[in-house]
Structures are given as C-alpha cells and as structure tokens.
Amino acid sequence: MNTSRLDAQQVRDAAERRGARLRRVRTHLALVAAAIVVLLDQVVKSVVRATMNMGEAHTVIPRVVSIRRVVNEGIAFGFFPGNTTVVAVLTVLALVAIGVAMARLVGRNTPASVGGGMLLGGAAGNLFDRIVHGGVTDFIDFRWFPAFNVADIGITVGAALLVLGLMMLDDHSEDDAHP
C-alpha cells in the first residue's frame, strides 16, 4: 500500500479540519478584539469620569483636538437624545444582528473576524454606558466633529475591517474550486 498518495476523501477531510481550525482561531480573535475594545473603552471612560467634571476640557493640540467630558444620551453623534430606553433597545438589536452576522462571517477571513469583534466590542462598551450611566461618556473632541470615545473608534475601525474582509475572497475559495 502506497501511503504517500492521498485519496480525494482524505484531502477533503484535511481541508475540513483546516477550515474548522481556522474558524476556531478566528472566533477567538473576534472575541479577543471585542474584549480589548470593551476593556480599553471602559478603563479610559472611568478615568475621564473620575478626573474631569462635565464639560471640562483639556487642550491636546490647540484649535484641533481636546479632551472634553460630555455625555451623549442619543445614538451615534447625538441622534435621538433623551430616549435612553429606545437607544438601549436599538443597541441590543444591533448587537444581536452583529452577533448573527459574525457567526456567519467568522470563517471568512481574519479582517472580517477582527473587524466584527471590534464592532461588537464598541457597541457593547457604549451599551454598558447607556445602561449603567444613562448615557455614553464621550471625550475626544475635534472641534469640527462630534465628540467620541474608544468604543466609537472600535466601531469605526471594526466596520472598515469588516467591509475590507467582505471585499476580499474567502480563504477557502481556492479549496472549494479544486476539490
């Protein structure tokens, strides 16, 4: 028996094992990315809340950016202010939708997995603020743009990585084309 040659079934089995291993690694990457964004976001917001009064600002680069403590009671950039319950429900729905999409996309490629994790982590960090503090603590203030926070950066960078990952070919597309 010649063991140096693999039959088609052995090749398919090996490809399936490789795919399962990649999905596990990418799932872990997504969860780690989400955890890092939530942790970093909450630590920085805690420092801002503990050391700055509402509206207090510290200039970082004159006429460009400052650290200014504000509370956003609405969705992104202040839409729907004062409707904390509505915003929290919409955020939970968004988190569920992101989670469902992530379950389908996590095996696609690494940028999609990490991006989805960052997006999930950012949404979770801001949801935590809404539930616990009644609004989201924002502090990065470019004078020409609404103030934002680390979770918002995670959402934005995560969305960009997710789009990039969706534009890329699946890592398994070559395997699928040549069984």
Q: From the candidates 41, 129, 141, 152, give the one annotated as an active-site residue.
A: 152
- Which long-range contacts (C-beta less than 8 Å, at least 24 apart) are formed by 41-45? 41/121, 41/122, 41/125, 41/126, 41/149, 41/150, 41/151, 41/154, 42/125, 42/128, 44/139, 44/149, 44/150, 45/125, 45/129, 45/137, 45/139, 45/149, 45/150
Annotation says 138 is catalytic? yes
Choice among 41, 129, 138, 141 that is catalytic: 138
Active-site annotation holds for 152:
yes
What is the set of active-site residues? 138, 152
